[in-house]
């Protein structure tokens, strides 16, 4: 048994587990690194995380696949293992009112106009119908005024993925480091305030 300073070496543990469980390493699609850290102003990227499955599991689930997710607030990107092919569904995002919208006179006028529209029925029915009407009026106003938040997030992530790909080829490039830092700060700010 190999030990490093009183602990089992990680490589030896991985080899032992591989033989013991008769496992296979899953092919992971996506990024070629799973961990990043900023050291002395430069980003360092490594592949630390892997997907491992037993042979009988892989034989049972023929469509098993692993994909790297995107970095968010952690220094590791998630590893998503699925037994089904990934199908991207377009799901409408739920409506969320943002408090800072109240500072816009256009919204105040829109709300006043919609709220004054007559609705027949019980008081509760009137309230629910007015709220639905407000939602239907505010949604397009917010989209035209501020743009689609999900699209902005997606574009930001695409830029981060592009810069990280370029960064692998030229890890000491100061311009890429600064660009990546700005994009990550921008993403954190977007996720924090929305």
Residue pair 44/66 in contact (Cβ under 8 Å)? The answer is no
d(CA 145, CA 57): 50
Segment 17-39 mean pLDDT: 72
Amino acid 119: pLDDT:
92
Ranges of each domain in the chain: 7-89, 99-146
- Give, in order, the Cα–Cα distances in Å from 136 to each of 96, 114, 130, 172, 175: 12, 10, 10, 50, 44
Average pLDDT over residues 152-180: 82
Residues 21-31 pLDDT 10s = 666 777 777 76
How does strand 65-68 pair with strand 28-29? parallel
In this predicted model, what pLDDT tens digit does every residue of 48-64 receive, in sequence order?
777 777 777 777 877 78
Q: Does residue 78 or residue 110 have the better pLDDT? A: 110
Tokens describing residue 71: 């970095």
Q: What's the pLDDT tens digit per position in 119-147?
A: 999 999 999 999 999 999 999 998 888 77
2 in Cβ contact with 9 (< 8 Å): yes
């Amino acid at each position: 048994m190999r030990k490093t300073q009183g602990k089992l070496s990680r490589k030896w543990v991985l080899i032992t587990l591989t033989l013991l469980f008769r496992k296979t390493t899953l092919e992971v699609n996506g990024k070629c690194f799973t961990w990043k850290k900023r050291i002395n102003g430069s980003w360092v990227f490594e592949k630390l995380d892997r997907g491992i499955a037993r042979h009988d599991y892989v034989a049972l689930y023929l469509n098993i696949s692993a994909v790297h997710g995107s970095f968010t607030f952690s220094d590791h990107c998630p590893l998503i293992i699925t037994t089904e092919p990934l199908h991207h569904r377009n799901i409408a995002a739920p409506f969320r009112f943002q408090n800072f919208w109240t500072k816009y006179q256009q919204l105040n006028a829109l709300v006043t106009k919609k709220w004054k529209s007559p609705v027949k029925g019980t008081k509760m029915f009137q309230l629910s119908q007015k709220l639905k009407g407000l939602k239907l009026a505010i949604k397009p106003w917010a989209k035209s005024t501020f743009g689609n938040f999900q699209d902005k997030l997606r574009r930001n992530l695409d830029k981060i993925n592009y810069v990280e790909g370029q960064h692998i080829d030229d890890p000491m490039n100061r311009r890429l480091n600064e660009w990546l830092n700005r994009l990550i700060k921008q993403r954190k700010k977007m996720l924090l305030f929305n």
